[in-house]
Chain A
Amino acid sequence: MATAEEVAKAAERRDVRDRWLLSAPALLVILFAATGPLLIVLVYSFLTPGAYGDVKWQFSSDAWTSVFLERDIFDDTLSLAAAHVTIFWRSIKLAVVTTLATLALGFPTAYFMATRSEKTRDLWLFLITIPFWTNLLIRTFAVLQIIRNEGIVNTILLKLGIVSAPVQILYTDTAILIGMAYVYLPLMVLPIYASMEKLDFRLVEAGYDLYATRFKVLRKIIFPLVKPGVIAGSILVFIPALGAYVTPSVLGGGKNMMLSNLIELQFGQGRNWPLGSALSITVMIIVMVALLAYVRNAGKSGVRHG
């Protein structure tokens, strides 16, 4: 005969099992939805391109070779795929600069918001989220209207007589950076604000009482405490910025490819789906490595300050 303890244990076991069974469908869906498409991309990257798009079910590692190496079509020598490296580097550089720019703009903004009275804070928060109500493409076209040769900025500069001919901002790297910083700024502000809001400002006062300079207070007190927000914000900006497609094409004029354009070319006019897949996975690997390095580094220095 089972003791009361055994009965209780069996009930508990049943309970655990039921929970797993009940959540299994959801877990399976998530597992499948998260890994399924990625597995297809991975498989495609090892196939042969079809003559007019699509793939032939024939193993080939050519796609992976041509991510990094290229055979010169004129002298047939094998060398580093300089074009791909240039494009990768351009995208990485843009993502890093965008992250730094949004941080430079977002940190003071979040500080400003967090130091308002509780009532007005909600209003500021609300204002920050307003751009999200509109589609990314529309926001990008709005920036275009502002900076184009017949746009608002140039019209004002011309009318005031500051310049005699319109300043060419559109279709330059500056235009891309302005657009990217604008589009991704809320993604930086919100997490920093979330950390900053929890910051105990009495610590700041204490710092001043101990004769710390304003810069020292910022560096030794505020920054270490809101660091989780800065890290989260940087990650949220860096990843989508690396794959940005709309903003660089609309504001940069499409003369120089970004990673996303290079991948799109393979699935469109280039008709090389395996290479497109291999490039996509390469981007994922870059993001993963960058994140690991960043988080690890940030964590280490956090310990030192803390």
Chain B
Amino acid sequence: MNWKTTASAMGLALLASTGLARADGVLNIYNWGNYTSPDVIKKFEAKYNIKVTITDYDSNDTALAKVRQGGTGFDIAVPSQTYVPIWIKEGLVQETDPGKMENAKNIAPEWANPDFDPGRKYTVPWAWGTIGVVVNTDAYKGPANTWGIIFNTPDELKGKVNVVPEMGDVMFAAIKYVGGQQCTDDKVVLKKVRDLLVAAKPNWIAMEYNTIEKMGAGDFKATSDWNGSALRQRLANPAIHFNYPKEGYGLWSDNVVVLKEAKNVENAKLFQNFIMDPENAAGLSAFHRYANAIAGSDKYMPADMKDAPEVVIPADAKPLGELQQMCAPETQELYTKIWTELQK
């Protein structure tokens, strides 16, 4: 094939592809990495003849900063509950009223009217989970349902504990451990928190996100972690257990919003409705390994998640969970100072 025919063939191919895209419609999703089930996406694409592209982000702050700048081309994003009010307040998302969509009836009652989006005017639940303590029971057999594993480490675990470096989560846990309220700006409590953290740090081996691999390989024997991550660790090594700290633990939830600058609003709405279907919600869970806030999805869940203690919170631990909030900027500033002090 000479240059000219190659070029014209490529031109034709390009024309054909754009032509197809126009006919079928597209949807651009901006989501956390390794979080979106390819199977569910394929099903959505087949059902509505829509081409889906997915772009990853790695933190709420990154996603917020990027969408704020505008011109991203994304239709959908999946911010956490702490950030949803900011997205709404700054006018970055559209009021698509998913609470009135066909599948909204499937949302579990406790997630139907959350504080971060009363009446579900903007958001659809994607996943929710808990933050607790993961322990390898081969290394430590004592009671582990306490933040004390992290902040007052038992001798067997000294030098083997990891802490996931999410400032908000660590501050939440430390405040609970000293008996305070989340987002407190009480200096007496915060001083205790600061002293607790600084004294606890020498017993930690690392502050890393990469817990699944490191717990599996034995570099860490205990860590603070998200429940879905803990589930993956237990499936790889049955000695690894997730624990709900008795001092209180944090709940989080990630939510699908349609961006104000979205070009494919109707497709995005279809997607919001689509993932509230129990079978599809279960498909998402099967991939990201978290619960999904859709009632009736249980029967479609994979066998190893149906009654996994990481996903189904035991009755006695249920009242200890508390949805984490976004702290006031002035409080956040105090926390950053304590955090810097901790990591200096």
Return the CB mask of A238-273 against B: 1 if under 8 Å, else 0: 000000000001000111110001100101111110
Whether A171 lies near B205 (C-beta < 8 A) is yes
B207 in the interface (beta carbon within 8 A)? yes
Whether A254 lies near B59 (C-beta < 8 A) is no
Whether A261 lies near B339 (C-beta < 8 A) is no
A123 in the interface (beta carbon within 8 A)? no
Q: Please tell me the size bucket of the interface on A.
A: 20 to 34
Minimum C-beta distance from A259 to chain B (A): 12
Q: A51-B329, A254-B206, A267-B61 are in contact. Are A272 and B336 (CB under 8 A)?
A: yes
Whether A150 lies near B343 (C-beta < 8 A) is no
Whether A272 lies near B206 (C-beta < 8 A) is no
The 6 A-B residue pairs with the shortest CB-CB distance in the complex, in nearest-first order: A253-B206, A83-B344, A270-B336, A254-B207, A51-B329, A269-B167
B95 in the interface (beta carbon within 8 A)? no
Whether B339 lies near A150 (C-beta < 8 A) is no
Q: Per DSSP, are chain A's interface residues mostly helix, strand or loop, or mixed?
A: loop
Cα A256 to Cα B343 in complex, Å, equals 5
- The number of chain B residues with a CB under 8 A from chain A is 41
Binds A, one of B62-70, B147-155, B317-325: B62-70
Whether A269 lies near B191 (C-beta < 8 A) is no
Point out the residue from A51, A170, A171, A254 that lies within 8 Å of B165, measured CB to CB: A254
Return the CB mask of A72-95 against B: 1 if under 8 Å, else 0: 011000000011101100000000
Cα A257 to Cα B334 in complex, Å, equals 18
Minimum C-beta distance from B327 to chain A (A): 11
Point out the residue from B68, B191, B333, B338 that lies within 8 Å of A54, measured CB to CB: B68
Cα A171 to Cα B205 in complex, Å, equals 7
Which residues does chain B contribute within 8 Å of A254, judged by CB atoms? 165, 206-208, 343
B156 in the interface (beta carbon within 8 A)? no
A52 in the interface (beta carbon within 8 A)? yes
Which residues does chain B contribute within 8 Å of A256, judged by CB atoms? 343-344
Point out the residue from B201, B334, B336 that lies within 8 Å of A255, measured CB to CB: B201
A53 in the interface (beta carbon within 8 A)? yes
Whether B341 lies near A83 (C-beta < 8 A) is yes
**A–B Cβ pairs within 8 angstroms, 29 of them:** A52-B83, A52-B86, A52-B326, A53-B65, A54-B68, A73-B190, A74-B187, A74-B191, A84-B340, A84-B344, A149-B218, A150-B218, A170-B219, A253-B207, A254-B165, A254-B206, A254-B343, A255-B201, A255-B207, A255-B343, A257-B340, A257-B344, A268-B59, A268-B61, A269-B61, A270-B336, A271-B61, A271-B336, A272-B333
Minimum C-beta distance from A80 to chain B (A): 13
Closest to B65 in A: A53
Q: A253-B206, A261-B343 are in contact. Are A53 and B64 (CB under 8 A)?
A: yes
Which residues does chain A contribute within 8 Å of B168, judged by CB atoms? 269
Whether B336 lies near A265 (C-beta < 8 A) is yes
Which residues does chain A contribute within 8 Å of B90, judged by CB atoms? 52
Cα A270 to Cα B205 in complex, Å, equals 23
Whether A54 lies near B65 (C-beta < 8 A) is yes
Whether A52 lies near B165 (C-beta < 8 A) is no
Point out the residue from A53, A82, A261 that lies within 8 Å of B61, measured CB to CB: A53
Which residues does chain A contribute within 8 Å of B68, judged by CB atoms? 53-54
Which residues does chain A contribute within 8 Å of B274, judged by CB atoms? none
Which residues does chain B contribute within 8 Å of A257, judged by CB atoms? 340, 343-344
Whether B344 lies near A171 (C-beta < 8 A) is no
Closest to B337 in A: A73
Whether A150 lies near B217 (C-beta < 8 A) is yes
Cα A267 to Cα B201 in complex, Å, equals 24
Whether B86 lies near A265 (C-beta < 8 A) is no
Q: A74-B191, A271-B336 are in contact. List 9 more A-B contacts (CB 8 A).
A: A73-B187, A82-B344, A170-B219, A253-B208, A255-B343, A265-B336, A265-B339, A269-B168, A270-B340
Minimum C-beta distance from B168 to chain A (A): 7
Which residues does chain A contribute within 8 Å of B65, judged by CB atoms? 53-54, 267
Whether B206 lies near A265 (C-beta < 8 A) is no
B204 in the interface (beta carbon within 8 A)? yes
Point out the residue from B86, B201, B217, B336 that lies within 8 Å of A148, measured CB to CB: B217
Q: A70-B337, A150-B217, A257-B344 are in contact. Are A52 and B205 (CB under 8 A)?
A: no
Cα A53 to Cα B162 in complex, Å, equals 28
Cα A21 to Cα B208 in complex, Å, equals 54
Whether A171 lies near B217 (C-beta < 8 A) is no
Cα A256 to Cα B344 in complex, Å, equals 6
Point out the residue from B219, B338, B340 that lies within 8 Å of A265, measured CB to CB: B340
Point out the residue from B167, B206, B329, B334 that lies within 8 Å of A52, measured CB to CB: B329
Closest to A90 in B: B344
B229 in the interface (beta carbon within 8 A)? no
Whether B191 lies near A255 (C-beta < 8 A) is no
B137 in the interface (beta carbon within 8 A)? no
Point out the residue from B59, B166, B217, B344 that lies within 8 Å of A87, measured CB to CB: B344
Cα A149 to Cα B61 in complex, Å, equals 34
Closest to B68 in A: A54
B145 in the interface (beta carbon within 8 A)? no
Minimum C-beta distance from B341 to chain A (A): 5
Query: Which residues of B (168-206) have their CB < 8 Å from a CB of A?
Result: 168, 187, 190-191, 194, 201, 204-206
B332 in the interface (beta carbon within 8 A)? yes
Minimum C-beta distance from A54 to chain B (A): 6
Which residues does chain B contribute within 8 Å of A82, judged by CB atoms? 344
Which residues does chain B contribute within 8 Å of A52, judged by CB atoms? 64, 83, 86, 90, 326, 329
Which residues does chain A contribute within 8 Å of B208, judged by CB atoms? 249, 253-254
Interface centre among B64, B207, B217 (most CB of A within 10 A): B207
Minimum C-beta distance from A275 to chain B (A): 9
Closest to B162 in A: A253
Cα A19 to Cα B241 in complex, Å, equals 72
Which residues does chain B contribute within 8 Å of A86, judged by CB atoms? 344
Cα A53 to Cα B217 in complex, Å, equals 37
Query: Which residues of B (253-272) have their CB < 8 Å from a CB of A?
Result: none
